[in-house]
Amino acid sequence: MVVGHFKEPLSLNEQTSSRYTTFMERSLPTSNDRGRNAGIMFYDTALDQSMTWAIGGFRSTDDAGFDLDDGGYALTGRVTHTPLYAKGGERLIHVGVSYSTRTADDVRLAARPETHNTNAWIDTGTFAATGSEILVLELAGVFGALHVEAEYFQIGVEGDSGVSDPDFDSWYVQAGYFLTGESRTYERTSAAFGRIIPRQNWDKKGGLGAWEIAVRYSTLDLDDSGITGGELSDITLGVNWYMNPNMRLMLNYIMADVENDAIGLDEDTDIITVRFQVDW
């Protein structure tokens, strides 16, 4: 059991720490998940750690865990299974499902391209609602140096009187490959990906560290039932250099395609981002 201000059990991409994500930013669909909230959660593993489950009750807060009086309530759960787990995780298949039902006085969904250096490009604006439901389907695999990951999100909103009940769909698929032969690590107790350990650290004696290339396609549609928030799709290419388990250099090239009829925006944009990361 855990009590406090922590992540709701929703989505593989969100449960994986930002220290260990393949790309600098999480995928477009996760821009509207719930992140951290105040609550209480029960969780455990089963079937010799091939299965995990978690369920909790939450009260919506701001990022610092405050503003309880203004927050809605949520019941959120997640179940995962690894039907294949071999060679210490160098070969695995992960499947999972997350679900959340929530109360709300109003709803607003928005997203920017997969970089925090810009404002939202698509936005429903705030509209009246009595609640919402979030469904996430998870699929991932590790096959030696190759890893793949995909998720589908559906957000159904229960409109207030006189307001329609829109459904918003989004999904992403990504793949990565370690040129130096490492495998992406997987934490069985949390059903999320973990820290990359290079086969050899970068040093003056010829150690190369770990080199990874990756690609992701993600899309989010915020148009439905009279709501014209727009549609955004990203293709992101990535190169990661892990100098050692605690240091990495990341390069992302993002090709963003936005269509937002509400503000007359229809264009393609290229974005390049770089990050040097140290964590412990």
- Is 69 a residue whose pLDDT tops 60? no
Structural domain 2-278, CATH architecture: Beta Barrel (2.40)
Report the C-alpha gap between 5 and 60 in whole angstroms: 10
Domain locations in the chain as residue ranges? 2-278
DSSP 8-state secondary structure symbol assigned to residue 15? H
- Picking from 19, 22, 46, the residue whose alpha carbon sits closest to that of residue 176 is 22
Gap between the Cα atoms of 172 and 233, Å rounded: 9
Residue 40: is its pLDDT beyond 90? yes
Q: How many CA atoms lie within 13 A of 222 on its CB side?
A: 29
**pLDDT-derived band at 251, boundaries 50, 70, 90:** very high
Q: What angle do CA 69, 71, 73 make, to 5 degrees?
A: 120
Higher local confidence (pLDDT), 240 or 30 = 240
Render pLDDT for 189-243 as a digit per residue (tens, 0 to 9). 999 999 999 999 999 888 899 999 999 999 999 998 888 889 999 999 999 999 9
Residue 4 has pLDDT above 60, yes or no: yes
